[in-house]
Structure formats: structure tokens, C-alpha cells
Structure 1
Amino acid sequence: MDLYAEMAALVSEGRPFVLATVIESAGSTPQKPGSKLVVLEDGSLRGTVGGGAIEHQIIQAAQALLASPEHTRIIETHLTHELGMCCGGRMKVFLEKHGAPPRLTVFGAGHVALELASLAHRVGFRVTVVDARPEWANPERFPDCELLVKDPADHARALPGGPEHYFCVTTHDHPLDQAVVEALLDKSSAYLGVIGSRRKAERFRMRLRAAGFTEPAVERLRSPMGVDIGALTPQEIAVSIVGELIQVRRQPPSPPGRGAG
């Protein structure tokens, strides 16, 4: 498998990595411009930029980049003066971080969820749909998504959350929506929204406060979710929700909220 195919596989698997590319060299160097190395979070490698001390330096810089908010970095090194290598040349290497795709979990597999999951997949989200009803959650309706035929509230309780997670609650039952939201509200996420009218949203917030969730936690909930475009049909509602997901994705992440305490 060539390096580009391996990078495509890593993206498909949702594994972040850094691509290091030699962009300039002078004198004697182990690799010339165009040489590439892929560095994963666990330190495993694909390709090479020459081995030895220079490659070790690039691996360390790549792992530091993965842990930072930056997306790119340039390293310029004199191999003899700075690393003690006998080559005697200089190398400039461009590091570019490729993050895991954002993960969208859609709770419920109804008409809006169908349109939402399809459109979110097309704009780059890795989509999981959760519904206990196999007649709704099936591959024929959701060919591009991971499907979990299980109770949405149970799955919400088991999820770890994280800044790359987006949650959209669209089940067929208001009490189930409430149970899913209560299970998610204290977890870190980039986005948490529940479908419904403004009246439903206010009732949700009242119940959450009564359950002991703090005001900052309650305010994390986006409901009605989606950009206000006057959407009526499932397709239009999906457009409004995905528009809001994109809006959040393109902004810096906000600090995770906390629930009752």
C-alpha cells in the first residue's frame, strides 16, 4: 500500500496523524525535498525522512503538534551543528496535522434523522445513528452511517464524550429525548442539541433545572437546534441543523460544561 493510500485509510478510521514533508535541503542530507513521513499519536510511522537523529527530532515535533492547538509547523535543522550527524547538510521540514473527523451521534432514526445523517456525512462528519427500532435503523435507510440498534438513553450513558463529539437528539418520544439529554449534559462535547419547538425547549430546561443541573450546563443545550431559516420539511430542518454543526466546527471549541454538583 502506498503512503497516500495509507493516509486515506487513517482518515477513514478516524485516526489523527501528522504528515512531515521535506520542503528544502542543502548539502548532504539523508532525504531530498518531497520525502514524506507520517507520524501517529502512538509513535508508529509510515514512510521516512531519513532515519537517525533528524527523524527522531521530527517524530518528537510531530507528536507535540498533535497535542497542541496548532495545525502546522516548520522545522529547519543543520544536521551536523544541531544534531551531530555526519551528513553536514540542512533540511527544512513542513509538518501538517490531520485530525480525526468530527463524530456526530444522532439519537433516533426518524424522518429528520434520515436527512440529517445523510447531509452530515456528505460534509465530513463520521455519523452514528442510534435507535432501538430495527425497522427504522437499518442499512437500507442509512447506507453511509454506523448503526446501533439499541436504546438511545443506554448508549448516551455509555458514551465517553470529548471535544470532537457532536450530539443531536431526535428520537420519537419526548421522555426518551429527556433521558438522552440528561445522560449527555454532563459530558464534554462540541455540540448538544435536541429537536423540537421553543415550548418543548423551555420545558426541557425547566426539567433539567429541577433535576439539579446548573445554569451553565442547561445553557449548553441547543434547542430548538439548527440555524433559524424557517425550516419546515425534514430536508429543510436537516439543512438548518447541519448549518449549525458546521458553524460550531469552524469556531474554536468552548470549555466543556458541567452538570449537577
Structure 2
Amino acid sequence: MSFDREALRAAIATHGRVARVVVAEVQGSAPREVGAAMLVWQTDNGPAQSGTIGGGTLEYEAARHAFTAPRLQRLPLGPAMGQCCGGAVTLLTEVFEDADAIPEDIFARGPGPMPFAVKKALTEARAQGVVTPKLYGAWMVEPVTRATRPIWVWGAGHVGRAIVTTLAPLPELAITWVDTAAARFPDHIPDGVTRLVAARPDTLVPYAPPEAEHLILTYSHALDLELCHRVLSHGFAFAGLIGSRTKWARFRNRLRDLGHTNAQIDRICCPIGQPDLGKHPQAIAVGVAAQVISQREITESYGERTG
């Protein structure tokens, strides 16, 4: 879990003052882990929110009192909230009017001078490149979200739209969405998604970083094939193709004719996602999203080898 600065910035731009409630510490059983957070803002009908700290009474009360709660509060979930988890959580509640002062790597804040334990944690985190959210007394340390995984989605049809809508909220993903005409895209593009229009989408493949993950699902089999050919020639961390086993068998033969080896072709995953979930665009999107999320460790290993 990490501090999503861009989501906070977008919420402030839309709603004004925004409270952020984060699970700062957990003892025993709790509905969410340390670092789970939600944003809360006021509306004419009461508080509204994005994100979750676990639901139930804990979340309801935290949202209701987000602008009046003490900065830190420890809440036993059974006695105080009537929840059956049995543990206790410490919530950190902060109100923001801008996000300009939040660093790009690690956000450490608290009252008074920075404690030695926090200074030591920051030094170790920056040296190792790894930081986990943790409360040090009254000081909270969190990694700041950066979109570090480039995902290129080729195709803005029903499946492409469902996949982008499903993946866009994941803060680590930098999504580039490509199709042949502006009219093929929906009117609203999710925040953080870059739309590219090109009559020949395959000519954009060289602009994708070699660590990009590609999801190929255009309206045209010929274009899908050309994209597979270009991606294989360019390099990638992951490539998935929508289609049947029959389509993939045909593509394999064509890709061999274009000079690619079986070992290279095997790096393309087809069919993508989880076919047993069904062919509804949203069902495909759920399967693809699960595959993308599970791909994280493989992609990180690729980055370590090439970094």
C-alpha cells in the first residue's frame, strides 16, 4: 500500500478540502492492512468517499467524522465499533487543501522534530529502494505511489473499454490506450490514462518502453497480427492477445513465417485472461485484470534484470 498523491490531487481539484484516513497500525485481526486508505469530502448530502479502510462501522464513523477526528485514534474494533474482527486499529486522519508539499518518493510527517527512528527508516528505505507504511510513535511513513508499470492497451472497443475501466484505478499502472480514430474512444477517459490515436497503431510500437506490458485486442485480426509481429521485434515484459485457440494457431504459423522462433512466439499469451469466466466484456476484463495483477512479480523481476 502507498500514498496515492495523484488521486489526492484529483480529489482536491474536484471537491476542495479532502480528508485522508489511513490505517496506520493494526493489532490482532482487522478488516484491512496498514496503509489502506480512503479519501473523504463533504457534499450537500453528507460525506462522500473513494477507497476503503474495510467497510462496516469503522469506515462509516471514520468518514462521518473525517473533518473533526483527532489526528491519531486507536479503536478497538469489538468494544468501540461492535465489529467481530477482535483486533484494534490506529487511524491517521489528515485534511489536505493541496498536494504540493507531498514528496515523490516517501512521505514522512508528524509533530515536532523528526525522530531518529524515522530518519534511520528513511535512510534504509532510500538505500534499499523498499519502504512499507509504518507508524513510528506519532510519525507516519508511507511510500508515495508512482506509476511504474507501463501498460499499452491496443483497441478501444467494448473489451478494451472494460479492461481500461477495470485497470485504471490501480495507481502503479501507467496506461497508454491506442486505437485508429478518436471516435472509437469513450467520451470520458479515466484519469491517468494516455489516449493515442493513429491510423496505423502498429507504427507506435517503437515508442513503447521495452518493459511495457501489451494487451492486444483490436477490431482487426490483421492489425492484431501486425501488432504481435512488431511487439516481438521490439521487446516487452508481457504481451497478451485476445482470441480463440484457433486464431492463435493461425497467428503462430504466420509469425513463424515472419521470422520469429517458437520460443519467441511462446512469450505471447493467448487467449488472455480467464476464458472460463465467459465472453462478456466485463468478464474478460476481470480475468485480464487478475492476470495483470499476478504479473507484477514477473514484471518486477524483468526490471531487476534490465535495471
Shorter-chain TM-score: what band?
Answer: 0.5 to 0.7
Relative to structure 1, the CA distance from residue 21 to residue 188 in structure 2 (aligned partners, 3 Å threshold; closer, same or farther) is: farther
Deviation at 1:19, TM superposition (A): 2.1
Aligned to 2:263: 216
Any unmatched runs of 5+ in structure 2? 10-102, 133-140
- Once residues 71 and 246 of structure 1 are traced to their aligned partners in structure 2, the CA distance between those partners, rounded to angstroms, is 20
Identity of aligned residues (%): 27
1:127-171 Cα distance to aligned partner (Å, 9 max, x none): 221111121125x15343321111310111332322xx2210111
AA at the equivalent of 1:230: L
Equivalent residue in structure 1 for 2:205, among 146, 156, 161:
156
Aligned to 1:146: 194
Correspondence list, 1:189-208, <5 A: 189-208=236-255
Aligned length: 201
Any unmatched runs of 5+ in structure 1? 24-29, 37-48, 73-93, 257-261
State the secondary structure of the residue aligned to 2:277.
coil
Q: Is the 8 A contact 2:206 2:234 kept in 1?
A: no
Q: Is the 8 A contact 2:108 2:142 kept in 1?
A: yes
- Once residues 113 and 293 of structure 2 are traced to their aligned partners in structure 1, the CA distance between those partners, rounded to angstroms, is 40
Q: Is the 8 A contact 2:209 2:236 kept in 1?
A: no
Relative to structure 1, the CA distance from residue 11 to residue 232 in structure 2 (aligned partners, 3 Å threshold; closer, same or farther) is: same
Q: Please provide the CA RMSD for this pair.
A: 3.9
- Once residues 257 and 8 of structure 2 are traced to their aligned partners in structure 1, the CA distance between those partners, rounded to angstroms, is 42
Aligned to 2:168: 121
Correspondence list, 1:226-237, <5 A: 226-237=273-284
Relative to structure 1, the CA distance from residue 118 to residue 246 in structure 2 (aligned partners, 3 Å threshold; closer, same or farther) is: same
Q: Is the 8 A contact 1:20 1:95 kept in 2?
A: yes
- Once residues 157 and 294 of structure 2 are traced to their aligned partners in structure 1, the CA distance between those partners, rounded to angstroms, is 24
TM (norm. structure 2) is 0.54
Deviation at 1:190, TM superposition (A): 3.0
- Once residues 8 and 206 of structure 2 are traced to their aligned partners in structure 1, the CA distance between those partners, rounded to angstroms, is 27
Aligned to 1:8: 5
Deviation at 1:172, TM superposition (A): 0.9
Residue 132 in structure 1 maps to residue 174 in structure 2: no
- Once residues 180 and 239 of structure 2 are traced to their aligned partners in structure 1, the CA distance between those partners, rounded to angstroms, is 20
Deviation at 1:64, TM superposition (A): 4.3
